[in-house]
């Protein structure tokens, strides 16, 4: 579809220091490690930090891995549901921290935001820019009620970032972006308040959205499920992924997960999982990789990429 190339020059991740395990959570809430693991696949989550701080740390790691300096970045896209302030956006602060002198824009598409960012980055590359920094960063502890059994078990903080550049033989083979505002009030928060969620409805809509978006991206790429080597889905609940995979025909063996360690980190979850998968040496240049985000809005976003760039050896991780 594109001639210009789409290369993951480097990925980076950042997690705050404070780890909250299920057992620790069960000290303040009527729940248990066993229940949370069985119903969600989550074992712990990280709390603390700031969105701009975590974003800066992840972005700096991605730039170091890509071996580029601030002058090499043409655009900063920051996907977040938890900006530092209501006004202004968080991207300008991150750009300042990194010493960037380029456009800096927040994307609010909830858990789909980072994949929206990849598609937007592709658009900037098509318009002649060379290198785009796409960051997903969240401090969801600021809008999570850790005494609520529905949401308190799920969410945590973190950030992931990628430097995307032209050339290198990679490309976006297919993509799909979508939104359905009928479902705003199945997962939402008023200004200054904590999140409210209809967990069962989010679960149902998420499975449908994943299936629909994956198929739309495959159609656009002229590919089938069998052509996909590896998938990294948004890390919300392992049962959502398993239910969607049953319908689509993917296996957990070809799936990148970091949910057990981090919980749901919304816009940060896919780059955080990707960073781990690269450390494990599970993606190589030339692989066909699908990334699927879904979440509040509802929003959903899928890209299928021919992978090029940051492909680490498991032995050097």
Q: Does 203 bind ligand UT7 (CB under 6 A)?
A: yes
Q: Nearest to residue 265, comparing CAs of 234, 241, 292?
A: 234
**Cβ closer to ligand UT7: 103 or 199?**
199
Phi-psi sector, 128: left (phi>0), alpha (psi -120 to 50), beta: left
**Cβ closer to ligand UT7: 39 or 220?**
39
Least distance CB 232 / ligand UT7 (angstroms): 15
Q: Nearest to residue 291, comparing CAs of 315, 316, 255, 262?
A: 255
**Cβ closer to ligand UT7: 203 or 279?**
203
Q: Does 150 bind ligand UT7 (CB under 6 A)?
A: yes
Please give the Cα distance from 203 to 18 (Å, whole number): 28
**Cβ closer to ligand UT7: 153 or 162?**
153
> What are the angstrom distances between the C-alpha of 74 and each of 46, 52, 95, 192?
31, 19, 11, 33
Q: Does 185 bind ligand UT7 (CB under 6 A)?
A: no
Stretch that binds ligand UT7, among 32-40, 73-81, 94-102, 220-228 (CB under 6 A): 32-40
DSSP E strand boundaries for the chain = 7-14, 18-21, 44-47, 75-79, 103-107, 131-139, 157-165, 171-179, 187-188, 196-197, 230-233, 288-295, 299-306
Whose tokens are 């816009």? That residue is: 267
Q: Does 41 bind ligand UT7 (CB under 6 A)?
A: no
Q: Which of 295, 299, 301, 304 binds ligand UT7 (CB under 6 A)?
A: 295
Q: Which residues are catalytic?
A: 111, 234, 264
Q: Which of 149, 223, 229, 254 binds ligand UT7 (CB under 6 A)?
A: 149
Q: Which of 236, 244, 290, 308 binds ligand UT7 (CB under 6 A)?
A: 236
Please give the Cα distance from 177 to 90 (Å, whole number): 23
Q: Which of 22, 40, 112, 262 binds ligand UT7 (CB under 6 A)?
A: 40
Q: Does 288 bind ligand UT7 (CB under 6 A)?
A: no
Q: Tell me which residues touch ligand UT7 (CB under 6 A).
A: 31, 35, 39-40, 111, 149-150, 153-154, 187, 199-200, 202-203, 236-237, 240, 264, 295
């Amino acid at each position: 579809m594109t001639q210009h190339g789409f290369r993951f020059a480097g990925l980076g991740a950042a997690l705050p220091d404070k780890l909250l395990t299920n057992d620790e959570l069960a000290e303040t809430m009527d729940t248990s490690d066993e229940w949370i693991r069985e119903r969600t696949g989550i074992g712990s989550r990280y709390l603390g930090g700031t969105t701009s701080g975590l974003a800066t740390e992840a972005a700096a790691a991605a730039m170091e891995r890509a071996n580029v300096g601030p002058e090499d970045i043409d655009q900063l896209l920051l996907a977040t549901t938890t900006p530092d302030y209501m006004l202004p956006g968080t991207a300008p602060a991150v750009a300042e921290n990194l010493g960037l002198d380029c456009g800096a824009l927040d994307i609010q598409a909830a858990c789909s935001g980072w994949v929206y960012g990849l598609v937007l980055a592709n658009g900037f590359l098509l318009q002649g820019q060379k290198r785009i920094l796409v960051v997903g960063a969240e401090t969801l502890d600021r809008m999570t009620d850790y005494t609520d059994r529905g949401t308190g078990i799920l969410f945590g903080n973190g950030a992931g970032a990628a430097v995307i550049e032209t050339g290198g033989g990679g490309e976006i083979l297919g993509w799909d972006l979508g939104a359905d505002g009928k479902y705003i009030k199945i997962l939402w928060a008023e200004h200054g308040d904590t999140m409210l969620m209809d967990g069962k409805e989010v679960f149902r809509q998420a499975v449908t959205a994943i299936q629909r978006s994956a198929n739309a991206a495959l159609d656009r790429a002229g590919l089938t499920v069998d052509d996909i080597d590896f998938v990294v889905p948004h890390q919300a609940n392992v049962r959502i992924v398993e239910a969607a995979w049953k319908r689509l025909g993917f296996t957990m063996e070809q799936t990148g997960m970091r949910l057990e360690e981090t919980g749901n980190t919304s816009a940060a979850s896919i780059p955080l999982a990707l960073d781990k998968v690269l450390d494990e040496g599970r993606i190589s240049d030339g692989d066909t990789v699908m990334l699927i985000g879904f979440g509040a809005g509802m929003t959903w976003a899928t890209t299928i990429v021919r992978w090029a760039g940051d492909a680490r050896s498991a032995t050097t991780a």
